[in-house]
Structure formats: C-alpha cells, structure tokens
Structure 1
Amino acid sequence: MKLLTFSTLYPSAVMPSHGIFVETRLRHLVASGQVQSRVVAPVPWFPFKGDRFGEYGKFAATPAREHRHGLEITHPRFLRLPKVGMSSAPYTLAWTFLREARRLQREGGDFDLIDAHYFYPDGVAAVMVARALNKPVVITARGTDINLIPQYDFPRKLILQAAQRANAQITVCAALKDELVALGADASKVQVLRNGVDLTLFHPGGREEARQSLGLAAGRFTLASVGHLIERKGHELVIGALAELPEVDLLIAGAGPEEGALRRLAATLGVQARVRFLGAVPQARLREVYVGCDALVLASSREGWANVLLEAMACGTPVAASNVWGTPEVVATHDAGELMPARTATGVAEAVRRLRAAPRDRAATRRYAEQFSWDATTQGQLDLFHRVLAARGKPELRHA
C-alpha cells in the first residue's frame, strides 16, 4: 500500500519536535512492512531566517527536502496571509499540496491514498486535492482542530464539508469523535485510534542517575510540567499551585511566548526559587525529566490525546491532569494518577496532595502504560486503509 502523508504538523531538522506525534505514528505504520509512504509537510513562506523571527524564522530555514528515519519528506512553501490566514489557508495549502502531489506522480511516485493529519486547514485542503486527483483520503483529527477551531463559523463549515467528503476519519480519542459527530459528521465513518507510546524509549530505569543529572534535591517532591509555553497548556496554574505546596519544586520543560509572563508570575508569588525552566527538551532527553520527577502535571484546557501523559507513565511516573476531552480516557485508573477536581491552581494542588497522600507504585504505573503500545493503532490503520481501498474498487487489497 502506498500512502501520501500530508500535514503541516511534521518535524524537520530545524523543528525536530514539531508534530512529532504524526511522525511517530507513521514510523510505526511503515515498520509493519505493509505500507510505504512519502510525506508532504508544507511550511508557511517567510523571507527571513533567524531566531529573532521566532517560529517563522525556523520555517524559512526548513530544508525543501530531507530524509528522516528512512522516510522522504518535502517541505513546499505555502502562503499564510496576514489577518485572513484562517479563512484563506485551506486554499493556499491545497494549491501547494496539489502541485507537489502532481510533481511526485510525474516522477513515478504515485500513491493509493492520502493520509492527512489535522482537520483544519490540512484535512480541508487534502479533500480538495483528493477530489482533483481522484484519490481516497483519510483525515485524522487530533485536538484543537475539533475542540477549538469549529467555534469559528467559516472553518466549521469547511470542516463539516471535509468530513462528509473524506472516505473516513480517525480521532485519537472518543471525546473527539463525539464532538465531530455533534458537528454533523457521519459516525459510521469515524474510527477512534488512540496514540501509543514508545515503551523502549520511555522506561523507568536509572531514576537516581536522572535525579542527580537534573540536580534535584534529595527528599524534595518534584513536579514536571511539559509542553509549549502557551496559555492553553496551563503552566501558570502549576506555578500558582506551588503557593499552596510549600515543600514542592517544579521543572518546566518547553519553550514559547509565555515564558516571560510565567517567570514574572513565579516571582510575584515568591516561588521562583522552586521553579526551574529547562527550555525546549528533545524527546530523547525528556525521559530523564519523567524518570527524575515524582509526578507529571498537565493542566491543559484542551487536549486530544496527550502523549506526555503516557510517556511519563511509561517511565513509572504518575500524573495529575485536568479533566478535559480525551485526558480521562488516558488517566483511567488509580495507578495512572489523579484528575484535578477543578482546572485551577487550587485544583492542581489538590491533585498533587492526593498523589502524595497515596503514593503510586511506579512499577504498577509502568504496567498500566504497557497496554498502550502502538501495535493496536497500527493494525487499526491498516484495516481501515484496506477497507477504504477495497470500497474504491481495489478488492485485491481486502485480504492483503
């Protein structure tokens, strides 16, 4: 089976953590030996490179082509227009994707199916291209593309059209499927395939070494808050909780526009000596953070299926998480951790107190995570793609 994977959420040499969850799922799918894929991962056009231009400077520095983990990736440029970007992006993205797909076809890289990730604008653009090329398309919904963007009328209209025209959709949790169906999608065309976790990369070994490497004080209970430093991730609530948790320290792993505000908040609350900003941490080094800390805190306002939760659990570390969207599907047992009673600083503090009052067996937390390997998700994709292709008149793939 030959796929063309399409998403603006995909890592590159310049932004190695950007959309890594898309790459990880695809790597496991290709590792099955039943699928080949090329990746088209467009980036917004921008004329200037350099850190002073922030994310757009990184987009400008992204190579046009690269190979990652045995996969060929192209990064064609598309226009993201100021002020009207939300409305125009599906169309500029579709034009770029169609040109790139046709180029690949001319060079002998034809494909059976478009595997698109993130509903808006990516999935909407992918449906336009699929119709132009007479190819089937499957769209994966991942979070804010369904639980946030449809609040806007025009994107909601295009998302629903794409859902109706796509051959099938995948959601990473049941809560997103419910929301997609509530928008008007056909439930029979939506399949839940949750993300997995790399149980080899994320494991509990070397806890004392990790704590020493991180410089964690003996006997101090340490939390970790991992994710982009943006409002939606709720790092400010975790900092706020420290005012109610005087014997607790905090590591924050991530970079983003809210860093200055978060540092000021810590100073205002008088907890800055107990908060350490680690900056952006590569996924391979995140294991050290998960293993070394006593609990991971995720205070997000919106999540599809938060990978950091399973990564921490695979390292034997329980979690305290906000009770939103797909998170209760991840934090589903006592061994996994605690759901916050409220998404507030006090709610964070209460969940942490519960973890401290009833310490989790780290081996049991690891065993819980072990049920979330990628195998079931990979098989689910293979079965779905085969059904789509068989329905399109390729019966030889039904039993492939």
Structure 2
Amino acid sequence: MKRGVRVGMDDGAGRSRPLRVLWVTRIFPNRVEPLSCAFQRQQLAALSRRCEVEVLAAIPYHPGVSLLGERTRPGRLTAVPARDEIDGVPVVHPRAPYLPGAGRVLAPVNAPLYLAGLLPHVPRLRGRFDVVLGAWLYPDACAAALLARMLGLPYAVKAHGTDVNVVARWRSVRPLVGSALRSAAFAIGVSRPMVEALVELGAPQERAVLVRNGVDRALFRPGDRRAARIELGLPERGRIVTFVGNVIREKGIHELLGAFEALGREGGEPVHLVVVGDGPERGAVEEAALRRESERERRATGPREERGRIFVAGARPLAEVARHLAATDLLALPSWAEGTPNVVLEALAA
C-alpha cells in the first residue's frame, strides 16, 4: 500500500469514508508502561493514517489486585485510566479478569474471562466499526473473534511469534485458536513460516496472508558508532554486545549473562554488555553488573586484561534504542522462542 493512501468504504450514499477498525489487544503501551510494545504503537500510528481506529487495550484484573500496590504488575496497572489517547488515537482500557498462574491446563478459562471484560462496552461499540482486529492469538484474538460475532462484524487475526510458536501449541487452547482462525476474514503473519504455522493451526490457506513488519528508517539507519557511544556514555574502547527486549527468563537473559561471564575470562580487548529493557529479571542483571564492578575494583589490571562491564539501560524510548543499536557491535537475542522480532530488523537497518 502506498504511503498516505487511505482505505475507504462506501457509506451507502455513494460517498467514500475511511475504514473503521476496532483493535483488540493486551499488548499495548499505557500511562504506566508508556515504553512497552513499541512495535504495536508504530503499527497503530501507521494504520491510523489510513483508517479510523479505536483500541480496546485490556488491562489484566483480578479481585483484590489494588491491594497489591506496586509489588506486582497488575497492581501497578490499576493506575491506568479507563480512557486515554495515544498518538491521536482513542484508547479504552477495559479491565479484563484473568486467572493468575493459570498455566497450560487452566489457560482456556482466560479467553471467556477476557471477553467478560469487553462485554460492558458492547452497546457503545455497535454500529461504529467495519472490522475487528485481534492482535496476539491467545487469548486476545480468541476474545476478539467472540466480540466480533456479537457485533456482527468480520474480524482479522494478527499473530506475532510466541503466540503462534508456543502458546497456540498448548493442547488446552489449540481448539479455541483453531476455531478463531477458521472463521477469521484474514489471519496475518509477519513471516512465511508464521503464515504456514497459522494454516497448520486452522487458518484457511487462501485467507492466511503475509504482512511483514516494517522499520522506521528515520530512526534506524547507519550512524557514527563512536559518536553514539559518547552520546550514551558507553566506553569508546572495546566491543559492545547489546540486548534489547523484555528482561524475562524466556528471552534467555540468564543464558546471556552466563555466556558473557565465560566470554569475559578470555582476556584481550574488553567486551561490554548493554541490556536495554525492563522486566522481572532486571534485578539479576543489576546484580551481575554490581559483581563485575566489584571485581574490577579489586583487580588492578592492565588494559590487556581489562574485563568488560555490564550496563543496565532499562526501558528506553524508541529513538534512544536506535542510538544503542548504532553504538553496538553485536545484537544478542537468546530467546527461547521468537517469530520475526522487530529488533532484529531494526539492528540490520542500523
């Protein structure tokens, strides 16, 4: 599709109007986590230039969650407003009940619970949209499919990676995923292997389509590595390995720390590790960084034996992520499972 071209429909009186899209997902930034899911925010901004879009960005909820305060993510998310606007697009944050720690066996409970959180919005949504887009296979797209049927609308499913390669493979949820895919107007994958996986899971082949992720070349482009390091306060000397993503076990963060520790004992030019992102395992990264700094202080070593450092950058705006990729020698993404992650495409562009 050409830049700036709007997608339209006939309003019944012979006049064209923009396509009206209801986007349903939990994987979306909010006031508490404004830097999360940057790829969804970019895609929303691109889509909103061509269509009229409203987002139902569900917030996980269970009774008593407000009592948890800042100690848990659901507790922190109680501060998210019911309505908001992101990049000029209206965003509604329904509270979607869920069963904490459901695991594979009880996972099927979370799709109807998710839908229950959307039901109070049904009267307001009727007659206002042309299509529903469910982003993330389970439970989001499954709940979006049920919502679309209640609204009498077609729906499309957008898959990302782990939702296809891991979650949708669970026996407990696979029938629900298959049903949602079979009835979808389109099932969208970001790579050919993912499209093939969607067909395997139940999507009709003629309605399984490839829509590749894009990269913002205004941000991610080749630049001066030394200048980027100076700007970010990173060492000019030595090699830099950079991790960008959620700092969780499934992203292989502990494997990365172990590999970096082994690499650091080889001597020679220092190799530094930069971790860009946030998550429950950030504390482990910070502890590793402190151990490395303590060791550096104890050892009076020459430049040839200097060991690299660990830098914990935390979650950063997309423009700063681009600068980190410009500063690095190597992107490390040791995830247990991935689809076609945007950070790899962005690293190639940088």
Range of TM-score over shorter length: 0.7 to 0.9
Q: Distance in 1 between matches of 2:175 and 2:107?
A: 13
What secondary structure, in the 3-state scheme, does the structure 2 residue paired with 1:48 have? helix
Q: Which residue in 1 is equivalent to 2:317?
A: 282
Q: Please tell me whether the aligned partners of residues 116 and 137 of structure 1 are also in contact (alpha carbons under 8 angstroms).
A: yes
2:61 — aligned with what? 45
- What does residue range 1-400 of structure 1 map to in structure 2 within 5 Å? 1-32=19-50, 35-45=51-61, 47-48=65-66, 52-84=70-102, 86-105=107-126, 110-205=128-223, 207-242=225-260, 243-244=262-263, 246=267, 247-263=270-286, 267=291, 274-315=309-350
CA deviation vs aligned residue, 1:242-295 (integer Å, no higher than 9, x gap): 323543111111121223334556649x79852121122222221221112222
CA contact (8 A) 1:234 1:301 kept: yes
Cα distance 1:252–1:82, how it changes in 2: closer, same or farther (>3 A)?
closer
Q: Distance in 1 between matches of 2:169 and 2:275?
A: 30
Q: Deviations over 1:317-366 (max 9, x none)?
A: xxxxxxxxxxxxxxxxxxxxxxxxxxxxxxxxxxxxxxxxxxxxxxxxxx
Deviations for 1:174-201, whole angstroms, at most 9, x for unmatched residues? 1222222223332221101111011112
1:277 counterpart letter in structure 2: V
Question: Given the two structures, how large is their TM-score scaled by the length of structure 1?
Answer: 0.72
Q: Percent of pairs identical after alignment?
A: 33
Classify the secondary structure of the residue corresponding to 1:212: helix
Q: CA offset at residue 141 of structure 1?
A: 0.9
Structure 1: stretches of 5+ with no match in the other structure: 316-400
Distance 2:257 2:129 in 1: 49
> Which deviates more from structure 2 when the two are superposed, residues 71-80 or residues 238-247?
238-247
Call closer, same or farther: CA 1:86–1:194 in 2, change over 3 Å.
Answer: same
Q: Which amino acid aligns with 1:167?
A: A
- Runs of 5+ unmatched residues, structure 2: 1-18, 297-306
Cα distance in structure 2, aligned partners of 1:304 and 1:310: 12
TM-score (norm 2): 0.81
Secondary structure of 2:172 counterpart: helix
Greater alpha carbon shift after TM alignment, 233-242 vs 67-76: 233-242
Please tell me whether the aligned partners of residues 15 and 58 of structure 1 are also in contact (alpha carbons under 8 angstroms). no
Q: Which amino acid counterpart does residue 259 of structure 1 have in structure 2? A: R
Q: Secondary structure at the match of 2:263?
A: coil
2:48 and 2:89 in contact (8 A); partners too: no
Q: How many residues align?
A: 310
Specify the SS of the correspondent of 1:67: strand
Deviation (angstroms), 1:308: 0.9
Corresponding residue for residue 356 of structure 1:
none
Contact in 1 for aligned 2:35/2:315 (Cα 8 Å): no
Secondary structure of the structure 1 residue equivalent to 2:71: helix
- How far 1:206 moved relative to its partner? 5.0
